[in-house]
């Protein structure tokens, strides 16, 4: 860079449903508590965060799974938390009134074991002005269908989406399960049922053993759990690609937000390139709470590089990258 020459400004803002986010970086559910925990972190880079998703809420309080609840593995992290939370009643009383203190958009996450529970939760949240959207976590056993996950059943996933749509006035985000046999079909079903945003995906079923004891012992108290972190990124990238292609083929207006294994700015670029509008960051935040800063500066550097390479102002806008690799990905 020549002395005195100005570095162009990169516009990181993206439009996700009705929300304009200052960056495409969203903090993932379960990895940032109720947001207030981050207010206590020295120099937390709020200006680099577009929004945050609260820990999933259930109708009744849940004590969660036995410890240990998290464990590190080679390329990621195992967890089996069991959706520990105090239930919607305590949430509305104690947490909801304080959400306006948070310096970014807040999305509530709900999870149920019957369709009716999702409706009850969505309806209750209408009374909460600090919430910009609801994220519907469908990685949950449907007890009315023998425990089959809502997220693997296109009909049940659509029905839950429709119920939340009817009971909630704002945008409906539906967070899909990676276990779906055909993720594009689930995305289509939720989109047809009125989802504004599809979030792909939750953690991938996994387990680990500690061989320092003999016989080896499970790493998690619940024995099995979910894998997150860099190990799952290529898996989720493919699912995002498949869902985006289907949504574009059918002309759906639902957008996709990616959640899985983001560790560096390049990962965000990959997700945007196959059509995600924004991304969620989970495990990385547990590893380095200031990571949004590093991700933002990495995105800016990438955009400056592409801008120079292509000699076109449009590449200074991060929203221009959404879907930019889809042509090259045509089979
Ligand atoms: C400790 C932990 C707790 C989580 N709790 C929730 C949760 O309550 N609701 C939810 O939808 N996802 C939950 N997740 C999944 C994350 O939101 C995210 O989708 C997943 O970890 C993949 O992203 P990552 O690889 O960036 O962590 C949790 C993940 C972790 C690691």
Domain for residue 65, yes or no?
Answer: yes
pLDDT (mean) for 39-46? 97
pLDDT (mean) for 240-260? 98
Give the per-residue pLDDT at 331: 81
How many separate domains does the chain show?
Answer: 1
Give the per-residue pLDDT at 127: 83
What are the C-alpha distances in Å from 327 to residues 61, 256, 257, 303, 320?
A: 47, 18, 20, 19, 14
Domain for residue 257, yes or no?
Answer: yes
Which residue, among 293, 295, 302, has the nearest Cα to 278 in the 3D structure? 295
Model confidence over 54-105: pLDDT tens digits? 999 999 999 999 999 999 999 999 999 999 999 999 999 999 999 999 999 9
28 lines ligand 1 (CB under 6 A): yes
**206-238 as b/e: b if 16+ CB within 10 A:** bbbeeeeeeeeebbbebeebbbbbbbbbeebbe
Give the per-residue pLDDT at 148: 94
Domain for residue 106, yes or no?
Answer: yes
Residue 16 sits at the vertex; the CA angle it makes with 15 and 19, to the nearest 5 degrees, is: 80
Domain for residue 122, yes or no?
Answer: yes
Instruction: Report which protein residue has its CA nearest ligand 1's atom 22.
Output: 260
Under 8 Å between Cβ of 162 and 129: no
29 lines ligand 1 (CB under 6 A): yes
The CATH number of residue 74's host domain is: 3.20.20.70
Share of the chain above pLDDT 70, in %: 99
Distance 227 CA to ligand 1 centre (A): 9
Domain for residue 64, yes or no?
Answer: yes
Distance, CA of 161 to CA of 254 (rounded, Å): 13
User: Where residue 131 falls among pLDDT bands split at 50, 70, 90?
Assistant: very high
pLDDT over 80 (residue 187): yes
pLDDT (mean) for 247-264? 98
Phi and psi angles of residue 72, each rounded to the nearest 5 degrees, phi first? -85, 140
Model confidence over 219-229: pLDDT tens digits? 999 999 999 99
pLDDT (mean) for 271-278? 98
Phi and psi angles of residue 137, each rounded to the nearest 5 degrees, phi first? -85, 110
Give yes or no for a cis peptide into 68 (omega within 30° of 0): yes
30 lines ligand 1 (CB under 6 A): yes
Under 8 Å between Cβ of 48 and 295: yes
Distance, CA of 211 to CA of 283 (rounded, Å): 24
Structural tokens at position 151? 């997220």
Domain interval for residue 132: 14-321
pLDDT over 70 (residue 201): yes
Distance, CA of 190 to CA of 171 (rounded, Å): 13
Domain for residue 197, yes or no?
Answer: yes
Which residue, among 279, 291, 175, has the nearest Cα to 270 in the 3D structure? 279
pLDDT over 60 (residue 259): yes
Residue 4 sits at the vertex; the CA angle it makes with 2 and 6, to the nearest 5 degrees, is: 90
Give yes or no for a cis peptide into 215 (omega within 30° of 0): yes
Distance 35 CA to ligand 1 centre (A): 14
Model confidence over 312-331: pLDDT tens digits? 999 999 999 999 999 999 88
Give the per-residue pLDDT at 2: 56
Domain for residue 1, yes or no?
Answer: no
Mean pLDDT rounded to a whole number for the chain? 97
Distance 4 CA to ligand 1 centre (A): 45
Which residue, among 28, 198, 186, has the nearest Cα to 107 in the 3D structure? 28
Give the per-residue pLDDT at 70: 98
Which residue, among 150, 36, 46, 153, has the nearest Cα to 101 in the 3D structure? 36
DSSP-assigned states of every residue in 212-267: TSSS-EESSTTSEEEEESGGGHHHHHHHHHHHHHHHHHTT---EEEEES---SHHH
Count the Cβ atoms, other than its own, within 10 Å of residue 315.
Answer: 21
Domain for residue 217, yes or no?
Answer: yes
Model confidence over 227-249: pLDDT tens digits? 999 999 999 999 999 999 999 99
Q: Which atom of ligand 1 is nearest to the CA of 284?
A: 26
pLDDT over 80 (residue 1): no
Instruction: Report which protein residue has its CA nearest ligand 1's atom 21.
Output: 228
Give the per-residue pLDDT at 4: 64
Give the per-residue pLDDT at 3: 64
229 lines ligand 1 (CB under 6 A): yes
Q: Which atom of ligand 1 is nearest to the CA of 230?
A: 25
User: Where residue 181 falls among pLDDT bands split at 50, 70, 90?
Assistant: very high
pLDDT over 90 (residue 267): yes
Give the per-residue pLDDT at 160: 98
């Amino acid at each position: 860079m020549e002395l005195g020459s100005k570095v162009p400004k990169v516009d990181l803002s993206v439009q996700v449903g009705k929300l304009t986010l200052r960056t495409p970086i969203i903090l993932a559910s379960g990895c940032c508590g109720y947001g207030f925990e981050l207010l206590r972190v020295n120099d937390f880079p709020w200006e680099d965060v577009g929004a945050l998703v609260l820990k999933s809420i259930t109708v009744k309080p849940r004590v969660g799974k036995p410890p240990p609840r998290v464990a590190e593995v080679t390329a990621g992290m195992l967890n089996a938390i069991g959706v520990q939370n105090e239930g919607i009643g305590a949430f509305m009383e104690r947490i909801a009134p304080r959400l306006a203190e948070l310096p970014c958009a807040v999305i509530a996450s709900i999870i149920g074991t019957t369709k009716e529970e999702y409706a009850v939760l969505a309806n209750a949240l209408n009374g909460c002005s600090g919430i910009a959207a609801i994220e519907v976590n469908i990685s949950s056993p449907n007890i009315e269908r023998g425990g089959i996950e809502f997220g693997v059943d296109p009909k049940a996933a659509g029905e839950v989406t429709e119920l939340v749509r009817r009971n909630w006035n704002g945008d409906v985000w539906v967070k899909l399960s990676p276990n779906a046999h055909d993720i594009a079909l689930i995305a289509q079903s939720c989109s047809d049922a009125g989802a504004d945003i599809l979030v792909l995906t939750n953690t991938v079923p996994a387990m680990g053993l500690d061989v320092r004891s003999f016989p080896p012992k499970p790493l998690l108290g619940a024995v099995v759990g979910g894998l997150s972190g860099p190990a799952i990124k290529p898996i989720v990238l493919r699912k995002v690609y498949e869902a985006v292609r289907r949504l574009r083929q059918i002309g759906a207006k639902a957008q996709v937000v990616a959640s899985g294994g983001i560790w560096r700015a390049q990962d965000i670029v990959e997700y945007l390139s196959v059509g995600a509008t924004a991304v969620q960051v989970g495990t990385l935040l547990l590893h380095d709470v200031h990571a949004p800063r590093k991700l933002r500066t990495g995105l800016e550097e990438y955009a400056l590089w592409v801008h120079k390479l292509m000699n076109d102002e449009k590449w200074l806008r991060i929203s221009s990258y959404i879907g930019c690799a889809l042509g090259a990905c045509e089979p």
